[in-house]
Amino acid sequence: MKYIIAIGIFQALLAAVLLLRSRYRKNADDLLISLVVCIGLHLSIKFFIFTFVEDQQVLNMMNTFIGFCYIPLLYLYTLKTIRPELVAASKWYLFIPFFIGAIGYFSTVCVLTVTSPKAYLVLYWYNTISLYTLLPLDIIVSGGIIYLAITKLPRNSQEKILIIQLASLFLGIGLLSVLFLIFSSSMLSLNYLSRSIIYTLLVVITIRIITYKYGAIIEPVSADVDNDFLLSAGDSNILPEISNQMNSLTESNLDMEDILDEKKKILQPQKRREILSHSEMFKILLKLEKAMEKEHYYMESDLTLDKLAKLSSLSKYHISETLNHFVHKPFYTFINEYRIEHVKRNLKKLSEKNISINILELAYEAGFNSKSSFNRYFKEITTYTPREYISLIMTDALTS
């Protein structure tokens, strides 16, 4: 069993690091990070107990209070996915069982440490109360999470699939625990088997979270406008209408990026089969990120998919497929994220040195070729307007 626990600790640590280092982390992903950290901490405590504790009563009965965190975190992740504006801290009361369990756990540890004559009685009641509280909560709330995901999230979305699978795994842990609880009184060997299966399922949960972020199970998305607009023969009658709309867009002084974004709204591209494997797309993404960070290709205002392909020695089709099917972002969003980060770094440096700021000059230096495009992407990526962001960093500089 210790080998299973050790693998689980490694997987939880790996999942947390990958999620933390991901440039494409969403706000809701912080709850996934908390979940895998809790799993890692839970398994670490168990590893310590099974390695250094010899008391058979403790080995057989000592439940870990961290289990009270799993379902609330998954429930909050579900709510945050449904309503991104939700402030997770506002649901703090969901963790009341966790805090009560922590008090009970550490109180029991203290009693066991001082070798009180009633230590095993305290251990028995802690284990009984925590177990008969945790199992019904896990089973009932897991079912509720599955119902929420099915009814409130878009059909076949990655998040919906992930939530249903994780909730099903936790539901399975709860149901298996009930079954083992019923039969373990007559078959003591089941205690060891039940714990091994539960720890294995926790390992599966961490692996599933890793595959969610790194492409083992990723749904196809619509392709980039530069390369993947595929119209069926039945769509030919809308071409004149599209042409008229694009002409009107061109005449309204919009920059090329705005026009491309409007093209995505006008056309609905057909999905196509992925050509690259997910491991190949991951390698291409790493090469693109390295090129951006070291060569700063994003600072070229005339950067296009063709030009980036030549500079990075990659196929433009492979870049397009990687961005759309692996990163889930169109080309210009990917590039402009680097440009916005470049502007933010310079804004912070200038504010720290108390130097006057020309935000438009910084935008052009980063690679933007129009004020409207910069303002739009800045708001989209940071949730602040440039002026609001400058005020924010100025306030931080004064208070620090």
Residue 130 has pLDDT above 50, yes or no: yes
| Dihedral-angle region of residue 253 (phi above 0 means left; psi in -120 to 50 means alpha; beta otherwise) | left
Q: Give the model's confidence band at 319: pLDDT under 50 very low, under 70 low, under 90 confident, else very high.
A: very high
Q: What is the dihedral of CA 249, 251, 252, 253, to 10 degrees?
A: 110
φ and ψ at 190, to 5 degrees? Answer: -65, -25
Q: Picking from 41-45, 60-64, 208-212, 269-273, which range would have the lowest pLDDT averaged per residue?
A: 269-273
Mark whether 263 and 338 lie in a shared domain.
Answer: no
Residue 18 sits in the same domain as residue 155:
yes
Token pair 């842990």: residue: 173
pLDDT digits (tens, 9 = 90+) for 25-43: 667 888 889 999 999 999 9
The answer on 133 and 16 residing in a single domain is: yes
- Kindly state whether residues 155 and 57 are assigned to the same domain: yes
**pLDDT value at position 261?**
53
User: Quick one: angle between helices 305-312 and 331-352, nearest 10?
Assistant: 80
Among candidate residues 213, 242, 259, the one where a domain is terminated: 213
Question: For the chain, what percent of residues have pLDDT higher than 70?
Answer: 79
| pTM for this predicted structure | 0.56
Report pLDDT digits (tens) over 326-357: 888 889 889 999 999 999 888 888 887 777 88
Query: What is the rounded distance in angstroms from the CA atom of residue 385 to the CA atom of residue 375?
Result: 7
**Could you tell me if 86 and 79 are in contact, meaning their C-beta atoms sit under 8 angstroms apart?**
yes
Residues 342 and 251 in one domain: no
**Based on the domain organization, do 138 and 236 belong to the same domain?**
no
* Burial (CB count within 10 angstroms: exposed 0-12, middle 13-18, buried 19+), residue 356: exposed
pLDDT confidence of residue 170 = 93
Q: Does 327 reside within a domain?
A: no
Same structural domain for residues 191 and 76? yes
The single residue listed with the structure tokens 């402009």 is 336
Same domain, 105 and 53: yes
In a domain, 312, yes or no: no
Given a cut of 70, is residue 124 above it in pLDDT? Answer: yes
**195 part of a folded domain:** yes
**Domain enclosing residue 366, as ranges:** 333-399
Between 174 and 22, the higher pLDDT residue: 174
Tokens 């168990």 found at: 46
Task: Domain count for the chain, please give it.
Answer: 3
For residues 368 and 269, membership in a common domain is answered with: no
64 & 205 share domain: yes
CA 41 to chain centre: 19
Helix axes 96-113, 67-82, angle to 10 degrees: 160
265 and 343 in a single domain? The answer is no
| Per-residue pLDDT at 121 exceeds 90 | no
pLDDT for 46 equals 87
pLDDT digits (tens, 9 = 90+) for 241-259: 444 444 444 444 445 555 5
**Range of weakest confidence among 120-134, 194-208, 242-256:** 242-256
Q: Please indicate, yes or no, if residue 324 is contained in any of the structural domains.
A: no
Does the pLDDT of residue 267 top 70, yes or no?
A: no
Average pLDDT over residues 175-201: 74
pLDDT for residue 167? 94
Does 68 share its domain with 96? yes
| CATH of residue 393 | 1.10.10
How far is residue 195's CA from residue 202's CA, in Å, rounded to a whole number? 11
In a domain, 328, yes or no: no
